[in-house]
Amino acid sequence: MSLKKNGFSKKEKDDIRTLMKFAGIYCGENHHGEKAPFSFKLFDIREIEKKEMPLCQDCTRLLTYGLTMRLMCPHDPKPMCKKCESQCYHGDYKSKIREVMKFSGMYMVKHGRVDMLYHYFR
């Protein structure tokens, strides 16, 4: 995988922030064991999200996979993953990311983010 030298587009940054936020909500609400601050080896995550995010080992693995798949996406513009013809997520990652997105999206709606309904039904 090669990262762009001129940084990320606004869409890529938004997608990365969304993945991180959803993983953080899911992990915070469902996993109460040992957690460590999330870091990503391919770039300094603090360029996109300043706030430190503690995740369990499973959520760290899922988020790392998700960020890698997002950065490798060959489509421009990138479609929503659930509507994409070429599925990047494989095996357990696909079902787990769906679970995380569904849980976190509904969590946000229940906690006042009604704008998430628009995205959900798009």
pLDDT digits 0-9 by tens, 79-98: 777 777 777 888 899 899 99
Picking from 22, 33, 11, the residue whose alpha carbon sits closest to that of residue 80 is: 11
Does residue 54 fall inside a structural domain? yes
CA atoms 75, 81, 82, 85: torsion sign:
positive
Residues 4, 17: Cα–Cα separation, whole Å: 18
pLDDT at 44 (0 to 100): 82
Cβ pair 38, 54 in contact under 8 A? yes
| Assigned domain for 4 exists | no
Q: What's the pLDDT score for residue 122? A: 55
Please give the residue range of the domain that contains residue 77: 10-121
Share of the chain above pLDDT 70, in %: 87
Q: Name the domain count of the chain.
A: 1
Q: Is pLDDT of 8 > 60?
A: yes
What are the φ/ψ torsions at residue 110 (nearest 5 degrees)? -65, -20
Q: Which amino acid is at 49?
A: E
Question: How do residues 26-79 score in pLDDT, each as one tens digit?
Answer: 999 999 989 999 988 888 888 787 888 899 999 999 999 999 988 888 877 777
pLDDT, residue 30, reads 95
Widest CA span in the chain: 39
Tell me what pLDDT residue 60 has: 95
The torsion of the CA quartet 7, 11, 16, 20, rounded to 10 degrees, works out to 140
What was the pLDDT predicted at 5?
42
Does 1 reside within a domain? no
Helices (H), 6-121: 10-30, 57-72, 92-110, 115-121
Which pTM was predicted? 0.81
